[in-house]
Amino acid sequence: MDSASTPAAAVPPYAIELVGITKRFGTFTANDGIDLRVRRGSIHAIIGENGAGKTTLMNVLFGLLQPDEGEIRVDGKPVVMADPSVAIAQGLGMVHQHFKLVPSLSVAENVFLGMEIRTRGLIDHKKQEDRTRELSRRFGLAVDPTERVGLLSVGIEQRIEILKVLVRGARTVILDEPTAVLTPQESRELFATLRGFANDGMTVIFISHHLEEVIEVSDTVTVLRRGKAVATRPTSELSKSEMVRLMVDREVSFARPARPATQGATVLSVRDLWARDDRRHPALRDVSFDVRAGEIVGIAGVAGNGQTELAEVIAGLRPASHGAATLGARDILALSPASIRNAGLAHVPGDRMVRGVDGNASIASNLVMGRQFRAPWRKGWLLDWKAADVEATRMIERFDIRARGPADTVKRLSGGNIQKVVLAREFTNDAPFLLIDQPTRGVDIGAQEAIHDEIMRQREKGIAILLISVQLDELMKLADRILVMFNGRLMGSVDGEEADEDQIGLMMAGVAQSQVEAAA
Amino acid sequence: MSTRMRAFAGQLIAVLFALALGSVVILLVDESPIRVFTTLLRGAFGDINRVAGTLLQTTPILISGIAACIALRGGMFNVGVEGQLFLGGFAAALVGFAFALPPGLHVLVALVAAILAGAAWIAIPAWFRVRFNTNEVVSTILSNYVAVLLTSYFTIFLFKRPGGWSETPPILSSAYLPELFSFSRLNWGLVIGLILAFAAAWYFRNTPGGYAVSMTGSAPKFAEYGGVDVKKRGFWVLIVSGAVGGLAGGVETLGVHHRFMEGFAPGFGFDGLIAALLANGSPIATIATALFFGALRSGSLLLETDTNASREIITVIQALIILSVSAQVLLRRRGDAQAGERRWKF
């Protein structure tokens, strides 16, 4: 245990080794026997589609989740990561996707939060600020230690998160999609910092969707697909298209159902649409498309490229900054959510637990939402709870919701069954337009099939459907046309019958359709 | 209804915990907690007169409590019931002494005046909330001070009755709320409160509007997505809450004091809010919690004559109840939040 006397050459070359890590959530295997070896002093990128198991693997490594099988070694020694404090003690530091900073405190106070430097029992602000300044200079993380965090930009907040990790003595830094919130300039500065870490003998693991960045900054790449590590290679040996091929599941697990051509008139029309996200950054840039009756238009893209904002704007839950959208003959951009529903929208929201249901209420009560002023739910001045119960019982049967009855509390149900409650409500509104965001997120395979069948049935009824999903295979199975979104823009449009995963994958990574087709 | 049972058990434990802590305080002033509590019980329910006295104290707490419940169900806090109660009380007194109307009608007009005064008073914070997203907790608290001082000003400088006291002239007997029994000042106000409690519960349960309000309170984003105009609903929920707060004051004026005076109804509005919180925003449960606080108030009268404990011990116990109930609610919320996170963390 006397590390000081150990010669450097005897230290094993891997800073971190994960051996045979398996992590299951119920019947879902998020990590399936993953081996990952990270060389000391290197930058190791982990790439994969959403749901491939990247974040789960990092949470296992950092002690936030306990693996069902497998072993973690730090500097060659096995370690049980019982909780994050063990990981921190082992020299690991994690920079999360969502920052956890206190806006009213200064930069230095945030950096030392929970481990304040004390002099005679009082917080020594000067020492904390000096130490923050010293670290920020050493690694090129320019910050003013005395400034209030609430006044700073996202890029600087991330530097503070990195400083927090460094102050806690991290020798291995894990970053979960660090560039998702950064401007290109900020990303470049971050990469310089990460390079500096590696040159200093530290180790960096970072998760990313952006393949250019991976190529630019990493030494080694591990590709995860459906919970398995399918390849680990030196970055220089892989091209971008090879990475995409490894990332995207080639075996389409769902057969594309036969479909009669039933397309009719245009129902939803979106033109030159712009909108901002919650941080007031542009989230939609010049988006235009149509959805016709009896057509499923899919929106593909890596999560966080504007799909959520698109759905919210169409549903009237987020203002557009520019552009036009019409549903039927009505301009919907100025309308309230209720008026848009009256104009013909039914909406399966992506954030099921927050938007889609009231988890504490009963199934019957959840099925009333939006229809409380209509028969059969309304009778005269009153809500008819008997009719609502009858309706709910019918829906439970028709949509195969596994529950004890209409009075069952929604949050007690499984994810798939909660989603069926939402579908049962939205699919029975006789709306000519269906907006469906992530229909099968967190839903098991059996329920996925049922939900897909239900969506196809809606299509056959001549309903116009906009289907947003981060699961490419889902879109390739269901959509008549797939639009690819990247950084708030539509990169291209692909016919569902002729869709090619590699091409869509490249567009999802930000390559323009013309280039993709020129390369093909 | 297991969540409801769990909430009930939680509140009960919180109250018992507060009473235990209160006992420690009583021990610190060298009194026996058992003697204090039995004296309280005797003071509140010892004979028919005392029961009537307790119900008399319960009435304004109950009506204020329903006012607070209405806002709570819509996911908001009306901490300004006290102020609405003062203004409602004053408005009722003004109609009561300044106009001569037939019996019946006079009561009705005075109560409507009280309701309008309460509604008008909360309209300012409610409008600020809709227009500028101002936190209604802060603005309604602050409006209390203005209301209390404003009515004092009216009473002392504009409508003071000749003589020594800072009070308005008495209202005409045609504006009296009829008493229920000959032996007590207990009046129809209690009946109004009970009807109101059941009416509010019924509204939330059985009407489309009540459903929209409840959903706005329990899952605002879900309600917004479902087409509920959350802002507009919120505004009107606060207005109605304030109107009921005003009614509480009107009932107190027309039923008990028959005039408005300084220090007219100290703390009833706040007791009502606590009663509503303890009842988890359920108007029916508020009947029980209002009775509990009414009993504490009326029982405490006997405390000073029969024990060495001061009446202020009641304030201490109330404060302890507030603390333990809020702690309990926060703990429960945090548990829910963690369970939610567990479900969705991948």
Domain ranges of chain B: 59-302
A389 found inside a domain: yes
Q: What is the largest CA-CA distance in chain A?
A: 86
Q: Tell me what the mean pLDDT of segment B105-125 comes to.
A: 96
Buried b (16+ CB within 10 A) or exposed e, B290-329: bbbbbbbbbbbbbbeeebebeeebbebbbebbbebbeebb
pLDDT of residue A209: 67
A62-66, A421-425, B276-280, B303-307: least confident range: B303-307
A289-293, B43-47, B243-247: least confident range: B43-47
Same domain flag for A129 and A176 = yes
Same domain flag for A396 and A408 = yes
User: What SS3 state is found at B280?
Assistant: coil
pLDDT of residue B244: 97
A23 found inside a domain: yes
Give the span between the Cα atoms of A366 and B94, in whole angstroms: 47
Q: How many residues does chain B have?
A: 346
pLDDT of residue A444: 65
- CB within 8 Å: B208 and A361: no
- State what percent of residues in chain B have pLDDT above 90: 62
The residue among A223, A247, A271 that closes a domain is: A247
Which residues, in sequence order, are CB contacts of A66 under 8 Å at separation 6+?
Answer: A60, A81, A82
- Which among B33, B38, B9, B6 has a CA at the least distance from the CA of B20? B33
A196 found inside a domain: yes
pLDDT of residue B107: 95
Report pLDDT digits (tens) over A209-254.
Answer: 677 788 889 999 999 888 899 999 999 998 877 887 787 655 445 5
Same domain flag for A297 and A379 = no
Residue A415 in contact with partner chain B when CB distance is under 8 A: yes
Q: Tell me what the mean pLDDT of segment A118-123 comes to.
A: 88
Q: How many CB atoms lie within 10 A of CB B57?
A: 25
Q: Tell me what the mean pLDDT of segment B235-244 comes to.
A: 96
pLDDT of residue A1: 43
Residue B304 in contact with partner chain A when CB distance is under 8 A: no
Same domain flag for A294 and A425 = no
**Structure tokens that stand for B62 in this block:** 């109950």
- Which among B64, B55, B90 has a CA at the least distance from the CA of B292? B55
Per-residue confidence band for B93, with pLDDT thresholds at 50, 70 and 90: very high
Q: Which residue of B has its CA nearest to A24?
A: B346
Amino acid at A369: M
Contact A16, A73 (CB under 8 A): yes
User: What separation in angstroms does the CA of B291 have from each of A473, B68, B201, B283?
Assistant: 62, 16, 18, 13
- CB within 8 Å: B215 and A338: no
Domain count, chain A: 3
Alpha helices for A232-370 (secondary structure H)? 240-247, 307-314, 337-342, 363-368
- CB within 8 Å: B206 and A354: no
| Contacts B229 to A, Cβ<8 Å | 336, 338
Cα A155 from chain centroid (whole Å): 19
A2 found inside a domain: no
**Structure tokens that stand for B66 in this block:** 């329903």
A168-177, A292-301, B154-163, B227-236: least confident range: B154-163
Same domain flag for A462 and A489 = yes
DSSP B47-61: SHHHHHHHHHHHHHH
- State what percent of residues in chain A have pLDDT above 90: 47
A469 found inside a domain: yes
Same domain flag for A358 and A490 = no
- CB within 8 Å: B224 and A341: no
Same domain flag for A101 and A180 = yes
Same domain flag for A95 and A241 = yes
* Sheet with strand A266-276: strands edge to edge: A282-292, A266-276, A320-327, A330-331
* B48: pLDDT strictly greater than 60: yes
Q: Write the residue in A56, A357, A368 that is nearest to B211 by C-beta.
A: A368
The overall average pLDDT reported for chain A is 87
A258-272, A353-367, A388-402: least confident range: A258-272
Q: Which residue of A has its CA nearest to B231?
A: A336
Which residues, in sequence order, are CB contacts of B138 under 8 Å at separation 6+?
Answer: none
Residue B181 in contact with partner chain A when CB distance is under 8 A: no
User: What separation in angstroms does the CA of A431 have from each of A184, A267, A328, A428, B229?
Assistant: 42, 11, 11, 8, 20
The residue among A430, A464, A499 that closes a domain is: A430
What burial class does residue B186 get, using C-beta atoms within 10 Å of its C-beta: 0-12 exposed, 13-18 middle, 19+ buried? buried
- Which among B341, B339, B337, B344 has a CA at the least distance from the CA of A442? B344
According to DSSP, the residues that pair with A271 across neighbouring strands are: A324
Amino acid at A158: Q
Q: Which residue of B has its CA nearest to A54?
A: B346
Q: Tell me what the mean pLDDT of segment A350-368 comes to.
A: 90
pLDDT of residue B338: 42
* A9: pLDDT strictly greater than 60: no
Residue A27 in contact with partner chain B when CB distance is under 8 A: no
A272 found inside a domain: yes
pLDDT of residue A371: 87
Residue B228 in contact with partner chain A when CB distance is under 8 A: yes
Residue A51 in contact with partner chain B when CB distance is under 8 A: yes
Report pLDDT digits (tens) over B17-34.
Answer: 989 999 998 898 888 889
User: What separation in angstroms does the CA of A160 have from each of A62, A178, B96?
Assistant: 19, 13, 65
* A387: pLDDT strictly greater than 70: yes
Buried b (16+ CB within 10 A) or exposed e, A127-156: ebbebbbebbeebebebebeeebeebeebb
Provide the 8-state DSSP code for A114.
T
pTM (two decimals): 0.74
| Contacts B3 to A, Cβ<8 Å | 360, 409
Shortest CA gap A467–chain B (Å) = 18
Per-residue confidence band for B235, with pLDDT thresholds at 50, 70 and 90: very high
Helical axes B283-306 vs B189-206, angle rounded to 10°: 150
Same domain flag for A313 and A401 = no
**Structure tokens that stand for B229 in this block:** 């105009």
CATH number of the domain bearing residue A502: 3.40.50.300
| Contacts A415 to B, Cβ<8 Å | 343
A315 found inside a domain: yes
User: What SS3 state is found at B252?
Assistant: helix
- CB within 8 Å: A383 and B210: yes
Parent domain of A392: 352-430
* B221: pLDDT strictly greater than 50: yes
Provide the 8-state DSSP code for B187.
B
Output Rg (C-alpha) for chain B, integer angstroms: 21
**Structure tokens that stand for B262 in this block:** 């300084």
Helix count and strand count (H, E) for chain B? 13, 0
pLDDT of residue B120: 97
pLDDT of residue A271: 95
Residue A347 in contact with partner chain B when CB distance is under 8 A: yes
| Contacts B226 to A, Cβ<8 Å | 337, 369-370
- CB within 8 Å: B228 and A56: no
Give the span between the Cα atoms of B85 and A69, in whole angstroms: 64
User: What SS3 state is found at A192?
Assistant: helix
* A6: pLDDT strictly greater than 50: no
Of the ranges A62-66, A101-105, A147-151, B105-109, the best mean pLDDT one: B105-109
Q: Write the residue in A317, A368, A442 that is nearest to B224 by C-beta.
A: A317
Same domain flag for A337 and A371 = no
Q: Tell me what the mean pLDDT of segment B235-256 comes to.
A: 96
A3 found inside a domain: no
| Contacts A369 to B, Cβ<8 Å | 215, 222-223, 226
- CB within 8 Å: A357 and B219: yes
Q: A394: number of CA atoms within 13 Å, CB side?
A: 9
pLDDT of residue A321: 92
Same domain flag for A118 and A203 = yes
The residue among A221, A247, A273 that closes a domain is: A247
Report pLDDT digits (tens) over A131-185.
Answer: 999 988 888 888 889 888 887 877 788 889 899 999 988 999 999 888 766 766 7
A398-402, A484-488, B304-308: least confident range: B304-308
- CB within 8 Å: B225 and A349: yes
- More confident of the two residues A328 and A253: A328
Report pLDDT digits (tens) over A73-96.
Answer: 999 999 999 988 899 999 999 987
Per-residue confidence band for B152, with pLDDT thresholds at 50, 70 and 90: very high
Q: Which residue of B has its CA nearest to A65?
A: B346
- CB within 8 Å: B346 and A358: no
* B100: pLDDT strictly greater than 80: yes
Query: Between A and B, how many CB-CB pairs are < 8 A?
Result: 79
Shortest CA gap A74–chain B (Å) = 24
User: What separation in angstroms does the CA of A21 have from each of A33, A35, A52, A221?
Assistant: 5, 7, 14, 18
**Structure tokens that stand for A359 in this block:** 């988890």
Same domain flag for A107 and A13 = yes
